[in-house]
Amino acid sequence: MDNRPIGIMDSGVGGLTVARYLKKKYPDEGIVFIGDTAHNPYGDKTKEEITTLASSLRDYLLKKQVKMIIVGCNTISFNAAPSFFDCEVPVVRMSLNMPALDGVKEVAVLATPATIATHRHKHLIHEKYPWIQVHELGFPGLAHAIEMGESRESMESIVRRGVQETGAENTEYAFLACTHYPLEKELISRYLPHAAFWDPAEVTVEEGMNLLKSGHQLAGTPQPDQFCFTASGGTADTLVKSIFGSAAHAETVDTGE
């Protein structure tokens, strides 16, 4: 038994979709969530900038005595330097454990520009399914638009342009490789009408929880949650309350960056 909290970090509010699944499946576990709303978006930053900012979030969580850190952000997961993951507690990145794609002809990877630039998902798909056409949709500006609660028209314009420019309209499978995008899955699905969607949040959480189970580190009694953000405003408090209930709230903290 280990009643220490689980840390979840993100460039902003997107990682709340990972926290949502964790609390649904493991309600006794306490969460300390940290979202870097002061420096969002990360998708247009360099690897060095991402590593520096992410390290500040990680260190904040370590000061909270977390027993594990889940990186609820694909941009950090696939751009941060290896040293970022060298830590005294397990640091779990967003999963690449994708479902089988036998018989699929077209796949779309929906991510930030920084994640798309790594081509990690595309390379992984082509290792096993070289015949699949992979569309990489960076949706520049969408994660930040979700953060700030911009108009539906603004977000729709970004999605429509991204789909049209890549010719992804007939995609059969879409990978939500940005934790912000499940928050607007309904909008995105209108422009990818034939696609089944895969959200790695569930697999990521289970990979992390399996580590805790193997070490007998699950919480023994219900633990409190804390939802922290590095800047006020935007959609943080609204999302926290809508996902975790009216008693939950967002608080503004300083990570030193």
Answer for the pair 239, 183: CB distance below 8 angstroms, yes or no. yes
Nearest to 161 by CA among 137, 195, 178, 183: 137
- Name the catalytic one among 91, 108, 178, 212: 178
Domain-terminating residue out of 158, 179, 198: 198
In a domain, 12, yes or no: yes
CA distance 236 to 240: 6
Residues 156 and 207 in one domain: no
In a domain, 1, yes or no: no
Q: How many domains does the chain have?
A: 2
Residues 91 and 112 in one domain: no
Residues 138 and 192 in one domain: yes
**Would you call 127 exposed, middle or buried from its count of C-beta atoms within 10 A (0-12, 13-18, 19+)?**
exposed
CATH of the domain at 241: 3.40.50.1860
Identify whether 73 is a catalytic site residue: yes
pLDDT in tens, the chain (257 residues): 999 999 999 999 999 999 999 999 999 999 999 999 999 999 999 999 999 999 999 999 999 999 999 999 999 999 999 999 999 999 999 999 999 999 999 999 999 999 999 999 999 999 999 999 999 999 999 999 999 999 999 999 999 999 999 999 999 999 999 999 999 999 999 999 999 999 999 999 999 999 999 999 999 999 999 999 999 988 999 999 999 999 999 999 999 86
Residues 147 and 161 in one domain: yes
Residues 82 and 39 in one domain: yes
Structure tokens at 162: 């991204």
Residues paired with residue 31 on neighbouring β-strands, in sequence order: 6
Residues 117 and 180 in one domain: yes
**Range of 26's domain?**
6-95+201-252
- Name the catalytic one among 61, 66, 73, 192: 73
Residues 27 and 78 in one domain: yes
Residues 127 and 209 in one domain: no
- Give the pLDDT of residue 197: 98
Answer for the pair 229, 37: CB distance below 8 angstroms, yes or no. yes
Residues 206 and 183 in one domain: no
Residues 116 and 239 in one domain: no
Predicted confidence (pLDDT) per residue in 110-168, tens digit: 999 999 999 999 999 999 999 999 999 999 999 999 999 999 999 999 999 999 999 99
- Give the pLDDT of residue 234: 85
In a domain, 60, yes or no: yes
- Give the pLDDT of residue 233: 83
Identify whether 87 is a catalytic site residue: no
Residues 187 and 206 in one domain: no
In a domain, 257, yes or no: no
Answer for the pair 61, 10: CB distance below 8 angstroms, yes or no. no
In a domain, 101, yes or no: no
Residues 153 and 26 in one domain: no
In a domain, 100, yes or no: no
